[in-house]
Amino acid sequence: MELHGKRIALGVTGGIAAYKAAELVRQLIREGASVQVAMTDAATRFVTPVTFQALSGRPVFTDQWDARIGNNMAHIDLSREADALLVAPASADFLARIAHGLADDLLSTLVLARDCPLLVAPAMNRQMWENPATQRNIATLRGDGIAILGPGCGDQACGESGLGRMLEPDELVAALIAHFQPKLLAGCRLLLTAGPTFEAIDPVRGITNLSSGRMGYAIARAAREAGAEVTLVSGPVALPCPPGVTRIAVTSAQQMREAVLQRAGENDVFVGVAAVADYRPASPATRKIKKDGGAPSPIELVANPDILAEVAALPVPPLCVGFAAESHDLHDYAEKKRRAKKIPLIVGNLISDGFGGDDNTLILFDDEGQHPLPTAPKIELARRLVARIATLLEKR
């Protein structure tokens, strides 16, 4: 229910992607939003207003002369009641009209008369998207402070493939959720690690740590929502990259160290969330080790680099945040780790409290003491952590 209490005005224009807007309404309602739909005449050729009325539980508006509103000013009243106006799909024609301030139907008039933020999700053929006229219109809209969501790349209804697909409903919902988050890290550059590392024994076997990467990816998403420029150095996980985040895929601890040290000096914050393997084989076999019936050959291990400690020891380090996942004595181990690495903040959790799941229980350790965070979804905890990071940045 991340959009609980939010009032969304949804504009639907003509295009085959209009069918996705029906699922978008369903997902917005599921997240707690109330949705008021306004359609262009062309949109009604693809999906009927009855569909949106059934899904939203509200009458759908298609005519700027609709007499159901007492003052006959739907274009005024609908925007005054909304926290945000999202147009999805937004056709090439509609984008051109609002870029030039035209207002000749209900939806374009609503856009011009609004006093709430406007977000648009373009949807069109790839050549229409790439056309210089469309790109000029998009540049104008961006310059006017309008958020452009997408488009995506892939197969299109015309049989071609390329940029121009409307983002999927779950992507648009995530963009709306991000829109409403406080921009606590605006202008900040944040680098973080997530997931496990894998240290090869031979081409098919290795040493690793259990880690789903969910907490690190949640922090990357929350930091991006807060306005930061986010670079995510990720070990092998089965998670999609959060929208707007730059992901660098690595496998081993040494690869992760190299990727981090190349970028640490350019960032304001470094968050070491990854479960980096403590050791690696000294001499990985180049061929698969075969069982010969005898005793297994011993594997000599060497220590992996301490990436967080190296970043914290830079001449001008970013604000460093570490993680301590412990099976017991969390308070002692986490604080000891924080002091040893000389970092301002460490996030501690017991592996029994959310290892690999969607929820977690965290304790923040810093110079001011301990700050327990109650059990909650990882994205909520990530947002609380981002708020704490923002506070520490203000004090630097």
Q: What residues are labeled active site?
A: 158
H-helix segments, the chain: 18-30, 49-56, 74-80, 92-99, 106-113, 126-130, 132-143, 169-179, 214-225, 253-263, 307-312, 330-341, 378-395
Structure tokens at 261: 């040290």
Amino acid in position 261: L
Crossing angle of helices 169-179/18-30, nearest 10°?
A: 50
**Inter-CA distances, 123 with 106, 140, 244, 276, 334, Å:** 20, 17, 19, 42, 49
**Inter-CA distances, 310 with 212, 313, 315, 353, Å:** 24, 5, 10, 29
How many helices, marked H, and strands, marked E, lie in the chain?
13, 19
Taking the C-alpha atoms of residue 272 and residue 258, their distance in angstroms, rounded to an integer, is: 14
Nearest by Cα to 339 from 358, 324, 317, 318: 324
Taking the C-alpha atoms of residue 363 and residue 365, their distance in angstroms, rounded to an integer, is: 6
What value, to the nearest 5°, has the Cα angle with vertex 169 and ends 164 and 172? 75
Residue 36 CA, distance from chain mean position:
25
- Compute the residue count for the chain: 396
Structure tokens at 92: 């090439």
Q: Pairing between strand 301-303 and 206-208?
A: unpaired
Cβ of 114: how many Cβ atoms within 10 Å?
18
- Which residue do the tokens 């609004």 mark? 114
**Do 40 and 94 meet the contact criterion of CB atoms below 8 Å apart?**
yes
- Which residue do the tokens 């190349």 mark? 262
